Amino acid sequence: MDKTRTFLDVKEYPDTEVQKNRVLTLEEWQEKWVSRRIGFHQEQGHKLLKKHLDTFLKGENGLRVFFPLCGKAVEMKWFADRGHSVVGVEISELGIREFFAEQNLSYTEEPIVEIPGGKIFKSSSGNISLYCCSLFDLPRANIGKFDRIWDRGALVAINPGDRERYADIMLSLTRKGFHYLLAVLCYDPTKHAGPPFYVPEAEIKKLFGSICNIHCLEKVDVFEEQHKSWGIDYIIEKLYLFTEK
């Protein structure tokens, strides 16, 4: 018990610049799907999202929910089954096709006119639309604004040098009264180069604090056997809720 408390109280790592020059290309992310290096995918969905779902949704109906870097997140089906409209963006066409196959959903696909080479995959029910393209190209597609954003495995996956551009896009997609839920990981970045990258609280405040109230809902110790291969000895997940100032 004491050990857990010590972990959860761990201080932010002081050298926030250590990963700043790390770059993964879109092709490298696509290759992760091909070679099945997708340890970031959670087959049972995200425990903290499930726990705080009522806080996130506030009992509202018919919301538009955005999933940046969605992969084949099972939570997209959760929201659609509750009557919400889901939009995601993902560079891996393989990941998108696997989502529809694993959720037993029929779908259509068509090119994104505004983005050469991009495609949009839509569930036959019409309430899930997944864009296969770079997130940074997405604003050209005019996808509208959202009531909710679920950011898990997105901000922590973006190259650190692109975070400001990323945050600007995310905030441009929010509607009045939005709720933005963000999951980040805290570990010693001198021992693991990422991704997932370490995003300190100070940076979260710098990126989102001018527009958002920022509240940390929970911190949990998520260290597992696989993390030993990263060279780290602790990893804390933090869940933040952003609301409109």
Which comes out higher in pLDDT, residue 21 or 128?
Answer: 128
Closest among 184, 202, 159, 155 to 15, alpha carbons compared: 202
Alpha helices, H only, the chain: 2-8, 26-34, 47-51, 53-57, 75-81, 93-102, 163-172, 201-208
**What is the rounded CA–CA span in Å between residue 35 and residue 81?**
31
pLDDT of residue 13: 64
Which comes out higher in pLDDT, residue 156 or 7?
Answer: 156
Give the Å distances, CA to CA, from 223 to 46, 142, 231, 238. Answer: 15, 39, 12, 13
pLDDT of residue 219: 95
Which comes out higher in pLDDT, residue 11 or 176?
Answer: 176
**Binding site feature residues:** 29-40, 69, 90, 152
**Binding site feature residues for substrate:** 40
In the DSSP assignment, the letter for residue 75 is: H
DSSP 3-state of 19: coil
Which comes out higher in pLDDT, residue 38 or 208?
Answer: 208
| Mean pLDDT (whole number) for 164-182 | 97
| Mean pLDDT (whole number) for 190-212 | 94
pLDDT of residue 80: 97
Give the pTM.
Answer: 0.92
DSSP 3-state of 158: coil
**pLDDT over 60 (residue 45):** yes
Average pLDDT, the chain: 90
**Where residue 30 falls among pLDDT bands split at 50, 70, 90?**
confident
**Binding site feature residues for S-adenosyl-L-methionine:** 29-40, 69, 90, 152
pLDDT of residue 10: 61
**Where residue 41 falls among pLDDT bands split at 50, 70, 90?**
low
**What is the rounded CA–CA span in Å between residue 116 and residue 118?**
5
Which comes out higher in pLDDT, residue 123 or 41?
Answer: 123
Which comes out higher in pLDDT, residue 12 or 91?
Answer: 91
